[in-house]
Amino acid sequence: MYLNFEGMSAVVTGAGGVLCSEMAKGLGENGFTVALLDIDLDAAESVAKGINESGGKAQAFYCDVLDKESVKKSASLVEEAIGPIRVLVNGAGGNNERGNTTEHMTPKDLENPDLNDKNLFKLDPDGFRFVLDLNLMGAFIPTQAFLPQLSKHEDASVINIASMASYRPMTQVPAYSAAKAAVSNLTQFLAVHLAPVNIRVNAIAPGYFLTKQSEKLLTNPDGTLTSRSQRVINHSPSGRYGKPKELVGTLLYLCDKEMSGFVTGVVIPVDGGFIAYSGV
């Protein structure tokens, strides 16, 4: 199938990151004029430069998705620069060490909580809250800010970025898991709430992707997989990690009203079969 989104505009938040930069490139390669929003403006500008040099159209903007005024300002600048957007990709998100725990609590943790600063007793509420805000409010605030632009189209799309943790919590990352489950729930709410104004809302749930950012966590210095990383592979029917470019097809499908005009309120896993495998 041939897709052509010439004349259409899109926003990608968190566009300086590994996965979202690849999605922004995919939009640019298929005719979208893309606004790249990120708190790291240098990273966003680097991605925009690559899109422009490849024949696409892109522009970078500073944006803190947790600051309502920052997002409102960015939305105004985007509309002035490229017109009212038709697609919003809420890609900003991530985890923080302060929202992590060990895999299990042990009897020793109960006897002396101070022995392990990663048990539930010691989990930093502010760190937990930051991860919740980054992923949940980081999707809600931009959706609210760009809603007036999206509503100017007969068919517009909001595409959130969920996770495997939206389905089942991952060990060691309770804040991130709770946040991504909330993103999935918010996607369904918004799909119902915005349907009368012709805005479809869906989400993509990436599986496990080996990127430069995650490489140190998933591989040993000699390039072999860590024990935790090997468990992911063992639970993946595909037997490998995903490549960031493998998210683009699903993204473009959700953008195209001819192919997905009757699709709203769904979370599509792109995971190599991870959630389909029971382990037995």
Q: Residue 58: give its domain's CATH number.
A: 3.40.50.720
pTM score of the predicted model: 0.94
Asked if the structure places residue 274 within a domain, the reply is no
In-domain check, residue 50? yes
CA distances from 240 to 208, 210, 218 (A): 9, 9, 12
Q: Does the residue 3 lie in any domain?
A: no
Supply angle C-alpha 20, 167, 225, rounded to 5: 65
b/e sequence 161-187, b meaning 16+ C-beta within 10 Å: bbbbbbbeeeebbbbbbbbbbbbbebb
User: Does 74 lie in the same domain as 133?
Assistant: yes
How much is the pLDDT for 114?
Answer: 80
**Each residue of 69-84: pLDDT tens digit?**
999 999 999 999 999 9
**How many structural domains compose the chain?**
2
Decide if 159 is inside a domain: yes
Q: Could you tell me if residue 277 is inside a domain? A: no
Q: What is the pLDDT of residue 6?
A: 93
Query: Same structural domain for residues 234 and 168?
Result: no
Lookup: tokens for 126: 């502010």
The candidate with the shortest Cα–Cα distance to 207, out of 227, 178, 185, 232, is: 232
**Cα separation, 225 vs 201, whole angstroms:** 36
Confidence label for 102 from pLDDT (cuts 50, 70 and 90): confident
Residue 180 lies in a domain: yes
- Rounded to 10 degrees, what is the CA torsion of 92, 98, 103, 108? -170
Q: Provide the token pair at 45.
A: 């500008």
Longest dimension (CA), the chain: 63
Residue 279 lies in a domain: no
pLDDT digits 0-9 by tens, 129-175: 999 999 999 999 999 999 999 999 999 999 999 999 999 999 899 99
Domain, as residue range, for 86: 9-207+243-269
Residues 223 and 85 in one domain: no
176 catalytic per annotation: yes
**Alpha-carbon gap, residue 134 to 260, rounded angstroms:** 28
Q: Are residues 45 and 60 in the same domain?
A: yes
The verdict on 264 and 136 lying in the same domain is yes
On average, the pLDDT of the chain sits at 94
Helices (H) and strands (E) in the chain, counts: 11, 7
- Number of residues that make up the chain: 280
Average pLDDT over residues 185-205: 98
227 and 126 assigned to the same domain: no
pLDDT 10s digits, 146-158: 999 999 999 999 9
Q: What number is the average pLDDT over the span 258-266?
A: 96
| Lowest pLDDT segment from 42-51, 175-184, 219-228, 257-266 | 219-228
Q: What is the pLDDT of residue 116?
A: 79
Q: Which one of 2, 62, 167, 176 is the catalytic residue?
A: 176
The reply to whether 195 and 66 lie within a common domain is yes
Confidence of residue 225 (pLDDT cuts 50, 70, 90): confident
pLDDT score of 121 more than 90: no
* Claim to verify: residue 91 and residue 230 sit in the same structural domain: no
User: How far are the Cα atoms of 14, 88, 165 from residue 133, in angstroms, in the given order?
Assistant: 14, 19, 16
Amino acid 106: pLDDT: 87
Q: Does 67 score more than 90 pLDDT?
A: yes
122 and 223 share a domain? no
**Is residue 236 situated within a structural domain?**
yes
45 shares its domain with 71: yes
> What CA–CA distance (Å, rounded) separates 264 from 271?
20
CA–CA dist 238, 234 (Å, integer): 9
Q: pLDDT at position 213, please? A: 64
Please report which confidence band the pLDDT of residue 224 belongs to, taking 50, 70 and 90 as the band edges. confident
Between residues 210 and 132, the one the model is more confident about: 132
84 vs 224: CA distance, rounded Å = 47
> In the numeric block, which tokens belong to residue 142?
């931009």
Residues 182 and 48 in one domain: yes
216/90 same-domain check: no
Query: Cβ contacts of residue 244 below 8 Å, gap of 6+?
Result: 18, 19, 21, 22, 209, 211
